[in-house]
Amino acid sequence: MSKYGDGSFAEKQGGSEALDVASSNNQGQIVDGTISLDSIHQLQRGLKSRHIQFLALGGAIGTGLFVGSGGILATVGPAPLWLAYLSMMLLVWIVMNCIAEMCTYLPLRGITLPYFTERFVDASLGFAAGWNYWYAYAILVAAEASAGAILLNYWETPVPTWAWITIILVVNLVLNIIAVEVFGEAEFWFASIKFITIMGLIIVGLVIMLGGGPNGQRLGFHYWNDPGAFKEYLAPGATGRFAAYWTAFVRAGFSFITSPELIGLAAGETVAPRRNIPKAARRFLARLSVFYGVSSLIVGCIVPSNNPNLLSGASDASASPWVIGIQLAGIGALNHIINAAILTSAWSAGNAFLYSGSRILYSLAQNGQAPKIFTRTTRRGVPYTAVLMTWAFSLLAYLNVSNNGAQVFTWFSNLSTISGYIGWIVLLITFLRFRQALKVQGLLATLPFKTPAQPYAAWFALFMISILTLTNGFQVFVNWNYKDFLAAYITLPAFLVLYFGHKMWYRTPFHKPAQEIDVLTGKKEMDDMCANDVDPVPRNWVEKIWFWIA
């Protein structure tokens, strides 16, 4: 009998009867012995569809889109930049689908993705994945706060950097600590500003490409011919062009890391989860296609890859390829608007990362993998101790005040990227075991939300992300640099230490047979809760549009 019960009875009982047996085995309002359904101990379900859709977008649209794309363009050229974002979008879409299937099936309050890993795969893997995610989110909060302070200094105000960092961190803390509804609304409007700004920049970029700028030059794909679509990387010829694409592919991951997980982390706080989570998941790819697919194509058309400003190393909006392209077209006064948009993106992303990291820590504490103090919540359902602990690690942003702050920021960004890749690998393994358990126990038909090409898409993504993780720092083996090597690979042994350390201490098994995986506990409670959900009926065309958005 495993911690979560022996799921083999599903073979004997059948689908619906098995669900009733699982429900009757629950004691009171306790699910899995760790997650309580009692409202006193639970987070509120205050997030609506528009909240979780823009929560994921808030995490996806950060400094990576505005500034990071320029660094890739300068290194490898416009074609690898565009192809890399398209390739990464495919992987992110698959990861999002896997998360949506599991979270729609069991949208339990208080759960996070490592909870599913412990339940469907292995307690040691869940333990390592949980702390890996928490670490990544905590560091990302600090990274975004640091970037935000630099962007504010673009206006050359007399306010010192440490003061800007303090303001950013305090605002993020307040938005996360008050109540989940306040956080959701703030994130919705943060992401809305970025959405409007990005759409405006895309339109401006198209106008520049078609010759509508003040200088009247019709660019089209001119920069794809001169200086060229590809910049050969590390080697000449086809090898150099492939290395350029692969480098861009690896680096593109930073813009997407942890963003699909945000919807999964919000599942337990989402109103009508079996209606709103699939809705958010379906629209996620379409929005990424606009923000990253179209944007990366336009950027490569309005800025030459040999522009010296892309390689200046500046940490403000002057390093943004959008600013460079607009300045080359002779358009003035937009630099401040773009800088403000980038600042909003950094602030919003930091806000979302603090939310996610605190929920990871809250779940770890519920599962006995972190001190119980982090299970404490306010009367309004906010896990304030978990929020405060995650926020405390974001104080690393003050490293930006020192002379080597930018270097430390880059190092932490690399560590977060690899942590994100590891998280995706674990998540895909979890999903594959989940699907296999449903299949073996004859419950696959009970899955309320199914996505295309599964489980084959998950296997493909698992293979590709594993290769990306192993080749993340392949450049260092050509031009050796121990600092770059550590930044690229130190997270791998750290994760293995967590995994094997937990396994040796608790002597957990390496393999859990599919028929013993518990996919039933809590299912009936979720079915009963979601059965009360009624789709809103619009009374007029205004409500019809609003219901589609929200």
Mean pLDDT, rounded, for 200-215: 86
What is the C-alpha to C-alpha distance for residues 294 and 451, in angstroms, rounded to an integer?
25
In terms of pLDDT, which residue wins out, 459 or 175?
459
Q: How far apart are the first and last CA of the chain?
A: 43
Q: What is the pLDDT of residue 244?
A: 94
**Among 18-32, 152-166, 180-194, 505-519, which range has the highest average pLDDT?**
505-519
**Token pair for residue 175?**
């938005």
Beta carbons within 8 Å of 8's beta carbon, 6+ residues apart = 441, 515, 516
Q: What is the pLDDT of residue 178?
A: 76
Task: Give me the amino acid identity at 148.
Answer: G
Q: What is the pLDDT of residue 45?
A: 59
Decide if 232 contacts 241 (C-beta within 8 A): yes
Q: What is the pLDDT of residue 548?
A: 63
Q: What is the pLDDT of residue 354?
A: 87
Secondary structure class of 307 (helix, strand, coil): coil
In terms of pLDDT, which residue wins out, 356 or 38?
356
* Nearest-10 Cα torsion for 391, 397, 401, 406: 180
Mean pLDDT, rounded, for 247-260: 86
Average pLDDT score over the chain: 79
Q: What is the pLDDT of residue 421?
A: 94
Q: What is the pLDDT of residue 482?
A: 81
Mean pLDDT, rounded, for 341-368: 80
In terms of pLDDT, which residue wins out, 337 or 227?
227
As a whole number of Å, the CA-based R_g of the chain is 23
CB atoms inside a 10 Å sphere around CB 150: 26
What is the C-alpha to C-alpha distance for residues 167 and 412, in angstroms, rounded to an integer?
21
Read off the pLDDT of residues 473-496 as tens digits, 9 standing for 90 and up: 888 888 887 877 888 888 899 999
Under the banding of pLDDT at 50, 70 and 90, the label for residue 503 is very high
Out of 208-222, 292-306, 521-535, least confident range: 521-535
**Among 314-318, 413-417, 453-457, which range has the highest average pLDDT?**
453-457
What is the C-alpha to C-alpha distance for residues 452 and 447, in angstroms, rounded to an integer?
13
Decide if 21 contacts 13 (C-beta within 8 A): yes
Read off the pLDDT of residues 40-54 as tens digits, 9 standing for 90 and up: 443 455 566 666 666
* 355-390 exposure pattern, b = at least 16 Cβ within 10 A, e = fewer: bbbbbbbbbbbbbebbeeebbebeeebbbbbbbebb
Out of 41-50, 126-135, 302-311, 523-532, least confident range: 41-50
What is the C-alpha to C-alpha distance for residues 34 and 54, in angstroms, rounded to an integer?
30
Predicted TM-score (pTM) of the model is 0.82
**Token pair for residue 269?**
């706080």
CA angle 406/411/415 to nearest 5° reads 145
Q: What is the pLDDT of residue 291?
A: 78
Q: What is the pLDDT of residue 393?
A: 84
Mean pLDDT, rounded, for 462-466: 96
Q: What is the pLDDT of residue 44?
A: 52
| DSSP label of 306 | T
**Among 410-414, 484-488, 506-510, which range has the highest average pLDDT?**
506-510
Q: Which residue has the tokens 């911690």?
A: 3
Under the banding of pLDDT at 50, 70 and 90, the label for residue 146 is confident
| Residues above pLDDT 90, as percent of the chain | 23
How far lies 133's CA from each of 364, 393, 421, 496, in Å?
A: 11, 13, 10, 14
Q: What is the pLDDT of residue 286?
A: 77
Read off the pLDDT of residues 228-247 as tens digits, 9 standing for 90 and up: 899 999 888 899 999 999 99
Q: Which residue has the tokens 């809305």?
A: 192
Q: What is the pLDDT of residue 289?
A: 79
- Whether 17 has a pLDDT exceeding 80, the answer reads no
In terms of pLDDT, which residue wins out, 5 or 519?
519
Mean pLDDT, rounded, for 168-190: 75
Q: What is the pLDDT of residue 319?
A: 58
Read off the pLDDT of residues 305-326 as tens digits, 9 standing for 90 and up: 888 777 544 444 345 788 788 8
